[in-house]
Amino acid sequence: MNSAAPASPAASQPGWSRESGGQNRSGSGETGVSRRARIGDAVLGWACRLSAALIALMLVSLIVVLVHSAWPAIRQFGLGFLVSSDWRANEIERPLRDAAGKLVLRDGEPVMETLAPSFGALPVIWGTAVSSALALLIAVPISLSAAIFLVRVAPKLRIAGAASFLIEFLAAVPSLAFGIWALFVLAPFFQNHVGPVLQRVFEPIPGLRWMFYETVTVAGRTVERPIPLTGRDLFTGSLILAIMILPIVTSVSRDVLKAVPRTQIEGTLALGATWWQSCVAMLRYGRSGLLGAIMLGLARAAGETMAVTMVIGNNNQISPSPFAPAQTMASVLANEFGEATEGLHRASLLYVALILLTMSLVFNVVARRLVVGKVGGVSH
């Protein structure tokens, strides 16, 4: 199209956009009005391009800045950062112990050892992975059921619009509001009512003792002690995450299921499928789009900060028990960034942020590839 323009004076405009080339062909030799319009088009066209480029540039610069700021930690720990569970912001001195756990004495005094500051992301990666997985475990069945309701039941009851609105409204609630509710309502409720019941039910079951007891090494001795059920633990954190990802997983699943052709559902029904069996067929038809919806939920769960920080307990440890306090990547950043004045500490936190960003990008890209084309664009 561009090649058609050289005869026109407008073509020499530096900002001449390609889209106007065709117009130019028919309008060459016209008056200044069309020329002015063309200049306006060009300016706007370039403004749009610049804005789009700016957004891409922001992402690139974000990554560059993150890598640059995290560089001291990347250089010091390398990929070992991902598998180390140290998190010592300050140098500490402690009594040296031998292999048997005995204090090493010299002249009757314990010998001290000095541990340099060291950082590792394994506990927060663990916390993020487990809390997100638990959140999905809770949210996905509810979301898929709600999506089926919205697509197959609600229209008949003429409440599809209202129900969709309520579910999407949940997405608009600020995460701090969820956090406060979780901290003052959900956590005490779990501490006083749900936790004790769960303990009474599950503790006697052989093989589930690890849920309520932890093994720790105190002063060189290994002891087993009960995990205090505070209600501020991985489980409550996962629950609030589940509530927060419900809207997105539900609304994307609803769009995916809506796009299932009617003939597919009728095809199963005509063969004698029950309502439930035809729903299963529907889920199967939309499976890749639904997987995308779940991935979007996962991305959100992994990155969610405020509400989780308030209830997860913020303990940098790896415990198999869902009733132990934990820490996620986002919550460690929120908790420690303000006081991370020392270079390596700050760099390590930014390293965590970089891991989180990479993970979220991967989840989002995969999710979009799965969903787009199934529903003709993700609507959120």
Partner 1 sequence: MPVSPLMTQPPTSAKPQPEPPQVELPARKRPIASVGPANASGGQYPVIDAIKRGETPEPRRHESVMGVPSILEVRDFQLWYGQNKALHGVTMPIAEGKITSIIGPSGCGKSTLLRSVNRLNDLVDGVRTAGSISLKGEDVYARGVDVISLRKRLGMVFQKPNPFPMSIFENVVYALRISGERRKSVLEAACEKALRQAALWDEVKDRLKSSAMGMSGGQQQRLCIARAIVCEPQVLLLDEPCSALDPIATLRIEELILEIGQRYTVLIVTHNMQQAARVSDFTAFMYLGRLVEYGRTADIFQLPRLRETEDYVTGRFG
Residues making contact with partner 1 (CB under 8 A): 155-156, 261, 263-274, 277, 281, 284-285, 287
How many whole angstroms separate alpha carbon 238 and alpha carbon 133? Answer: 8
Question: CB under 8 Å to 133, separation ≥6 — which residues?
Answer: none
How many whole angstroms separate alpha carbon 62 and alpha carbon 41? Answer: 32
Q: Which tokens in the block code for residue 159? A: 């409440």
203 or 266: whose CB is closer to partner 1? 266
106 or 158: whose CB is closer to partner 1? 158
CB of 45 to partner 1, least distance (A): 41
112 or 270: whose CB is closer to partner 1? 270
Query: How far, in Å, are 14, 16, 43 from residue 46 at the CA level?
Result: 11, 9, 5
Write the burial class of residue 149 (CB in 10 Å: 0-12 exposed, 13-18 middle, 19+ buried). Answer: middle
CB of 293 to partner 1, least distance (A): 17
How many whole angstroms separate alpha carbon 91 and alpha carbon 96? Answer: 15
160 or 296: whose CB is closer to partner 1? 160
How many whole angstroms separate alpha carbon 234 and alpha carbon 323? Answer: 6
How many whole angstroms separate alpha carbon 349 and alpha carbon 333? Answer: 6
221 or 262: whose CB is closer to partner 1? 262
CB of 255 to partner 1, least distance (A): 18
CB of 286 to partner 1, least distance (A): 9
114 or 263: whose CB is closer to partner 1? 263
157 or 361: whose CB is closer to partner 1? 157
346 or 374: whose CB is closer to partner 1? 374
Please provide the size of the chain in residues: 380
Question: CB under 8 Å to 4, separation ≥6 — which residues?
Answer: 21, 22, 24, 25
CB of 271 to partner 1, least distance (A): 4
CB of 290 to partner 1, least distance (A): 13
CB of 266 to partner 1, least distance (A): 6
CB of 366 to partner 1, least distance (A): 20
